[in-house]
Amino acid sequence: MSKPLKVGLVGTGGISNRHMAAYQEHPDRLQLTAVCDVVESLAQDYAKKTGVDAIYLDYEQMLKEADIDAVDICTGHNLHAPQTIAAAEAGKHVIVEKAMSNTLQDCRNMIAATDKAGVTLMIAQHLRHSPEAIAAKRIIDAGNLGDIHAARTHVIMTGPQKSWMNDAKAGGGVLQTNSVHHIDLLRFFIGDVKRVTGVCKSAQPQMTNGAEDLAAATLEFENGAIGDLFASWTTYLSPVNPSYMILGSKGTIHSTPASTATDNAPVRHFGLAMYGLKEDVPRDQRKENPFEPLDTSDIMLPSSSFFVNEILHFEECIREGKEPVSSGHDNIETMKVLFGIFESARTRRAIDLAEL
Ligand SMILES: NC(=O)c1ccc[n+]([C@@H]2O[C@H](COP(=O)([O-])OP(=O)(O)OC[C@H]3O[C@@H](n4cnc5c(N)ncnc54)[C@H](O)[C@@H]3O)[C@@H](O)[C@H]2O)c1
């Protein structure tokens, strides 16, 4: 039995609380040995809850002094590149929250630094670590949905009001903050995108430096499928939450909007309760509602929390020398879709992602 991976977590704000259970519940595989935040009270509170003695207000100092093999980066987007590169230079493995970074060049620099140091880089795309996403992918990969013709995804919600997420300089905006999850999941299901056309708008006064709170885009996938993306933080009230639809020649998979969730089909975080057309029934014999919950009964994941699963996947990849499911090399393709949409909105033309 190998020793647990020793981790230092930086950024003890909102999302770090979702990561906490991985460290509390899996001491055989993960040992949180240091925490860091520029706000001392937040770092102290997190350290108390996780039983950590080593508290840092300075990240570089944590890298230099703490007994750690890896870092878990839970800070805002504009810090992801410098903190990843510094960790790589200190020889530490990195799991970093989405979105990977603010610019494509930053993403490339993160990959180059971690490759050079020979350490693992994983982007925390937690939606890939749910039973529903794995079941949907299995159906698609087995060809049971037929040829994938199209996909739709939307996020329609009231956005943050006073946060770094409202500021483009900090990496804010609805695409980098929310749609990055949904774009990544569509890539997981369908494959890479080759061309995008998009429109972005900054509609509300709290959005600064041009951060978008509305976006619409068309994605052209390598396999010929067409994707339709819509994102709104300008919503006063919405009947639906983030959702997906994947249209194949033999069936459709869709997620249940929150408003229609039932006890049998609970909506998980980000509305990822997938339904599929189970049988290839002739058109005239189809039931009025042929959708049934995807069978996830034989998908064994260590935890019911996809945040815990993603961190355990990171540990497993390091232990076994495997590439993570959303490595830097993989995730940069998700980021190209985002930056392609920004570029298309700016230039008012379709963008081939190979140009970026
Ligand atoms: N996967 C998800 O569902 C999900 C949800 C929310 C946020 N996130 C991601 O998590 C990351 C953080 O978001 P959040 O909502 O937790 O933000 P947050 O603002 O709540 O937390 C960030 C923390 O980083 C600290 N910090 C800032 N600068 C620092 C520095 N130089 N050194 C050390 N600490 C520093 C802040 O004090 C704060 O406590 C972002 O990448 C965000 O997109 C992911």
Domains and CATH numbers, the chain: 5-125+304-323 (3.40.50.720), 128-301+336-347 (3.30.360.10)
Q: Is the CB of 79 under 6 A from ligand 1?
A: yes
Instruction: Compute, in angstroms, the gap from residue 152 CA to the centroid of ligand 1.
Output: 28
Query: Is any atom of ligand 1 closer than 6 Å to the C-beta of 186?
Result: no
Half-sphere exposure at residue 348, Cβ-oriented, CA atoms within 13 angstroms: 0
Region of 118 on the Ramachandran plot (φ > 0 left; ψ -120 to 50 alpha; else beta) = left
Cα–ligand 1 centroid distance for 11 (angstroms): 5
Beta bridge partners of 218: 197, 228
Q: Is residue 128 within 6 Å of ligand 1 at its C-beta?
A: no
* Cα(48) to centroid(ligand 1), Å: 19
Q: What is the pLDDT of residue 260?
A: 45
Average pLDDT of the segment spanning 281-308: 80
How remote is the CA of residue 14 from the centroid of ligand 1, in Å?
A: 6
Q: Does residue 267 surpass a pLDDT of 70?
A: no
- Say what the pLDDT of residue 142 is: 92
pLDDT digits (tens, 9 = 90+) for 24-40: 999 999 999 999 999 99
Q: How far apart are CA 31 and CA 66, in angstroms?
A: 13
**For residue 244, how far is the Cα from the chain centroid?**
15
Tens digits of per-residue pLDDT, 127-167?
999 888 898 899 899 998 889 999 999 988 888 999 999 99
Separation of 67 CA from ligand 1 center, angstroms? 23
Ligand 1 atom with the smallest distance to the CA of 96 is 41
Q: Quickly state the pLDDT bin for 2 (edges 50, 70, 90).
A: confident
Contact 155, 78 (CB under 8 A): no
Quote the percentage of the chain above a pLDDT of 90. Answer: 75
Q: Write b or e for each residue in 44-58: b if 16 or more Cβ atoms lie within 10 A of its Cβ, otherwise e.
A: eebbeebebebbbee
Cα separation, 121 vs 277, whole angstroms: 36
Q: Is 14 in the pocket of ligand 1 (CB under 6 A)?
A: yes
Position 265 pLDDT exceeds 80: no
Beta strands in 19-163 (DSSP E): 30-36, 54-56, 70-73, 93-97, 121-124, 148-156
122: β partners: 95, 327
Q: Report pTM.
A: 0.94
Compute the distance between CA of residue 223 and CA of residue 207 in angstroms, rounded to an integer.
Answer: 36
Establish whether residue 45 lines the binding site of ligand 1, counting it when its CB lies within 6 angstroms of any ligand atom.
Answer: no
pLDDT, mean of residues 13-31: 97
Band (pLDDT 50/70/90 cuts) for residue 239 is low
Quick one: which atom of ligand 1 is closest to the CA of 11?
Answer: 24
Q: Is 120 in the pocket of ligand 1 (CB under 6 A)?
A: no
CA distance 143 to 346: 38
Task: Give tens-digit pLDDT for 64-116.
Answer: 999 999 999 999 999 999 999 999 999 999 999 999 999 999 999 999 999 99
